[in-house]
Structure 1
Amino acid sequence: MTDTAADTDRLPGKRALRPLAGVLTAMAVSLTGTRISGIALPWFVLVTTGSATKTGLVAFFEMTPYVVVKALTGPLVDRVGPRVVSWTTDLASATAAAAVPVLHGSGLLSFPVLLALVVLIGAARGPGDLAKEVMVPEAADRSRVPLERATGLSGVIERLASTVGPAAGGALIGLVGPLAGLAVNAACFAAGSVIIALVLPRNMGHAAEEPLSPDRSPHTKEGPGYWQRFGEGWTFLRGDPLLLALIVMVGTTNLLDAGFSAVLVPVWAQESGNGPTAIGLASSVSGAMAICGSLLAAAFAHRLRRRAVFFVGFLLAGAPKFLILASGAPMGAVLAVFAVSGLGAGFINPIIGAVFFERIPRPLLGRVNALGDSLAWSGIPLGGLVAGAAVAATGLVPVLMVGGIAYFLTTSLTGLRPEWRAMDRPRRDTRGLTGD
């Protein structure tokens, strides 16, 4: 099927890049707002309640619905289209985020009301993030950009947001207060909603044509129901050994990374005498080099053998960070290792994104991506709990050593399994399913 407007958008020049630029810009503003809120909201809760327990409770009430609702929204994204889901959920997030400073200023913001608003923000943010991810391959096709380059650029956006957002949030809170950070978060969500709704080409981001299943007649107008769509996503995911291997690996490393950043690094900073400044410095060095890695991936990854780059990236990104802290090395050596680690990490997500987008048919992209993301994130809430209990029982150095070895085994020896060979061979060309 040929679409005149779509063909026009594919012409060389600025207009040809409009689909990808629009999606990436919407991702940039919404992610930056989220990272600012990640500093402003906990600080707001801490200074208004004085309770670390309530601060942790707010984080739990945001992330739990984020993961759960994101997993369940995949069939909806596929049925109504990612564009509608993206701008409506961003608008809902903006409304809920703006309500926090408004109600606080009116004296109406009790802690239960705050928790309810945080639940709404998390529940809306999950589908919004998913919908933007789902639009990346279509935007890359329309802009005539290689998929690895498009996913590399989305990785750059995520890394930039994770680096710039907290810095901007901290500065804003220091100058004006946490409520200003929450207001900026709301404005960012509103801007992302406007970009997706009004700036993208009108014929982009609609529901993909549903493939006919053996038990459905071509004359049937109604598509499959919600649970059938959900089941189709799960069935597809179970039937793809490479995607399952990726999810298990990333889920394990997410758990290890969560424990590392939430518990092991702060304990190392305290016991080594380097203090909290060392945490920020190491994170900044790693984040800056991750941006460089993502930029290099966007420029060159589509010319390289994915499997080799993927496993080398994980070899650099994971175990060395654990082992350098366990060694008691000076701060200069720690920063050097964190820099190399960040560079390697920058290559990983663009490759994962390209593999997912290539192997999943476009009509199933929302539901399969939602399930995959949620399973990969499921270990994050447990990372800090496991690391904290382990450090209390055995001390920091043994936990760092075991964590580094576990990271190495998870990301290196598993690569010997045969399903990883498919990473260098795209299974099918799904571009024909976009409706262009």
Structure 2
Amino acid sequence: MAVSLTGTRISGIALPWFVLVATGSATRTGLVAFFEMAPYVLVKALAGPLVDKVGPRVVSWTADLASATAAAAVPVLHGSGLLSFPVLLALVVLIGAARGPGDLAKEVMVPEAADRGRVPLERATGLSGVIERLASTVGPAAGGTLIALVGPLTGLAVNAACFAAGSVIVTLTLPRSMGRPAENPPPPNSQPATSPARSNRPLKKPEQPGYWQRFGEGWTFLRGDPLLFALVVMVGVTNLLDAGFSAVLVPVWAEESGNGPTGIGLVGSTAGAMAITGSLLAAAIAHRLRRRAVFFIGFLLAGAPKFLVLASGAPMGAVLAVFAVSGFGAGFINPIIGAVLFERIPRPMLGRVNALGDSLAGSGIPLGGLIAGAAVAAAGLAPVALAAGIAYFLTTSLTGLRPEWRAMDRTRGATRERARSSASDRSG
């Protein structure tokens, strides 16, 4: 995960810069970003049944190898004079389409890694979150340095090498029995098969469900679990608000306050560093705490205050202090979300349900910047930031009074039970 995510973050700096320098067009730069992220979200949503059927291990190394090939083709074709803009878009589509299943497959293997390591899910998901946040901090810095020293094409080559390394690591270093295809559970009230000693008829192999049947089973399960569905809807709203915050509100604040790009970098790095600290602490102690309380307190710190401080026109020191607290609170959220998802979703359905949940939760991200931009143009920064902060508070606080959220704490014992069961299976 660390290798693949770091390569992706390096590419997130190198690819847009390469397009901007090569074409001089901000429109084409944005078009390339869209052509990468749209297939990523769409294919990830549809890849769940494939991950369950084929196995996350195979999907992970195959997808990373495909991403490495497409990423390496960009500098190779450019050096050969064969990289037209349509060809670049086609390669970017391939990179995004392969990244979606690859990221999903690695996420699906997290609970199995927790079982094998005999650690609580909160710790495993907390460490996974730390890796992602570190990659988001180290990757852009490394990408910027590479661009400054040797140009963007080298950054793209490093991205391809990272994908290739991720494929090799998963193929060669994971235990051979890890990441196997999910077995379909027997149908309810099924009768045992007739013994061959009592019948001359050959036993028929159970018919495997088709792709769309598997996909429908994932949606039915997600929609039928009140806690999971409420969690996905809530995170979907906060992702939309956060997207508008980072894409529009923070840059507008930086311009109007006179802090400029330096201010954007300061608040972002402050929040990121404290988020890493929060994730590390969550990995160490979150499994000992009441999930529901930690979850909603984390959202209370991470959400509304950062909107309100921008609306207030506070000085830079106060803004940095609020962003530090916000980042720290955010570090506790994803470990709990991951633990709840992995505990409540049956292992044979983990790929398809997780894929649908991630895609639904992220579906508002492309709209966040559009909505925030239109609102700020019409009403200004302060009213929009205030309204968004209030919406964030209502979404993440008052909804916690609904009864389905109580089940968040009831699943805590499942980690210990599953770990004991896994240990018993290995000893047998």
Alpha-carbon offset, residue 220 of structure 1: 3.0
Give deviations 1:372-425, integer Å, cap 9, x for gaps.
000001000000000000011111111100110011011001100000000001
- Which amino acid in the other structure matches residue 141 of structure 2? A
Partner residue, 1:310: 295
Partner residue, 1:412: 397
Partner residue, 2:156: 182
Alpha-carbon offset, residue 152 of structure 1: 0.4
Matched, 1:299 2:284: yes
Q: What is the correspondence of 1:228-377 to structure 2 with a 5 Å cutoff?
A: 228-377=213-362
TM-score with structure 1 length normalisation?
0.92
Alpha-carbon offset, residue 221 of structure 1: 3.6
- Which amino acid in the other structure matches residue 124 of structure 1? A
Q: CA RMSD in A?
A: 1.5
Alpha-carbon offset, residue 247 of structure 1: 0.4
Alpha-carbon offset, residue 215 of structure 1: 9.2
| Partner of residue 401 from structure 1, selected from 349, 366, 386 | 386
Q: Distance in 2 between matches of 1:47 and 1:216?
A: 63
Alpha-carbon offset, residue 185 of structure 1: 0.6
Alpha-carbon offset, residue 145 of structure 1: 1.3
Q: Distance in 2 between matches of 1:319 and 1:216?
A: 51
Are the aligned partners of 2:115 and 2:422 in contact in 1 as well (CA < 8 Å)? no
| Partner of residue 375 from structure 2, selected from 375, 380, 390 | 390
Are the aligned partners of 1:33 and 1:184 in contact in 2 as well (CA < 8 Å)? yes
Q: Distance in 2 between matches of 1:131 and 1:216?
A: 31
Are the aligned partners of 1:35 and 1:166 in contact in 2 as well (CA < 8 Å)? yes
Are the aligned partners of 2:116 and 2:422 in contact in 1 as well (CA < 8 Å)? no
- Which amino acid in the other structure matches residue 273 of structure 1? G
Partner residue, 2:201: none
Q: Distance in 1 between matches of 2:43 and 2:51?
A: 12
Say which is worse superposed, 170-179 or 357-366, in terms of deviation: 170-179
Runs of 5+ unmatched residues, structure 2: 194-203
Are the aligned partners of 1:315 and 1:411 in contact in 2 as well (CA < 8 Å)? yes
Q: What is the correspondence of 1:73-112 to structure 2 with a 5 Å cutoff?
A: 73-112=47-86
Alpha-carbon offset, residue 430 of structure 1: 5.6
Q: Distance in 2 between matches of 1:354 and 1:65?
A: 27
Give deviations 1:192-218, integer Å, cap 9, x for gaps.
100101100111110122102249886
The number of equivalent residue pairs is 410
Q: Distance in 1 between matches of 2:7 and 2:382?
A: 36
Matched, 1:421 2:406: yes
Give deviations 1:286-339, integer Å, cap 9, x for gaps.
000000000000000000000000000000001100100111111011000000
Q: Distance in 2 between matches of 1:247 and 1:279?
A: 29
Partner residue, 2:40: 66
Q: Distance in 2 between matches of 1:346 and 1:180?
A: 32
Runs of 5+ unmatched residues, structure 1: 1-26
Question: Would the alpha carbon gap of residues 119 and 216 (structure 1) be closer, same or farther in structure 2, given more than 3 Å must change?
Answer: farther
Matched, 1:152 2:126: yes
Partner residue, 1:38: 12
Q: Distance in 2 between matches of 1:134 and 1:49?
A: 39
Q: Distance in 1 between matches of 2:391 and 2:33?
A: 27
TM-score with structure 2 length normalisation?
0.93
